[in-house]
Amino acid sequence: MKRMSMVQAINEALDIMMAENPRVFLLGEDIGHMGGDFGVTRGLWQKYGAERVRDTPLSEAAIIGTAIGAAMVGMRPVPEIMFADFLGTCYDQIVNNAAKMHYMFDGQFKAPIVIRTAAGGGFGGGPHHSQSVEGWFMNVPGLVVVGPATPYDAKGMLIASIENDNPILFLEHKALYKVRGEVEEGKYTVPLRQAKVAREGTDVTVVAAMKMVHEALAAAEELATEGISVEVVDLRTLRPWDAETVLTSVAKTGRAVVANEAPKMGGLGADVSAAISEESFHHLKAPVQRVCGLDTPIPFSQPLEKIILPGKEDIKAAVRKTVDY
- Would you call 50 exposed, middle or buried from its count of C-beta atoms within 10 A (0-12, 13-18, 19+)? exposed
Q: Collapse the DSSP code of 261 into the 3-class scheme (helix H, G, I; strand E, B; otherwise coil) and give the result.
A: strand
Residue 317 to residue 325: CA distance in whole angstroms: 12
Query: Do strands 76-83 and 114-119 pair parallel, antiparallel, or not at all (unpaired)?
Result: parallel
- Would you call 178 exposed, middle or buried from its count of C-beta atoms within 10 A (0-12, 13-18, 19+)? exposed
Residue 69 to residue 66: CA distance in whole angstroms: 5
Q: What Rg do the C-alpha atoms of the chain give, in angstroms?
A: 19
How far is the CA of 83 from the CAs of 47, 86, 161, 183, 200, in angstroms?
Answer: 25, 6, 19, 25, 34
- Running DSSP on this structure, what letter comes out for residue 164? S
- Would you call 55 exposed, middle or buried from its count of C-beta atoms within 10 A (0-12, 13-18, 19+)? middle
Query: Do strands 204-208 and 230-234 pair parallel, antiparallel, or not at all (unpaired)?
Result: parallel
Spacing of C-alpha 194 from chain mean position: 13
Of 102, 128, 129, 283, which residue is the catalytic one? 129
Q: Which amino acid is at 206?
A: V
- Could you confirm whether 33 is annotated as catalytic? no
In the 3-class helix/strand/coil scheme, how is 271-299 assigned residue by residue?
HHHHHHHHHCHHHCCCCCEEEEECCCCCC
Positions marked active-site: 129
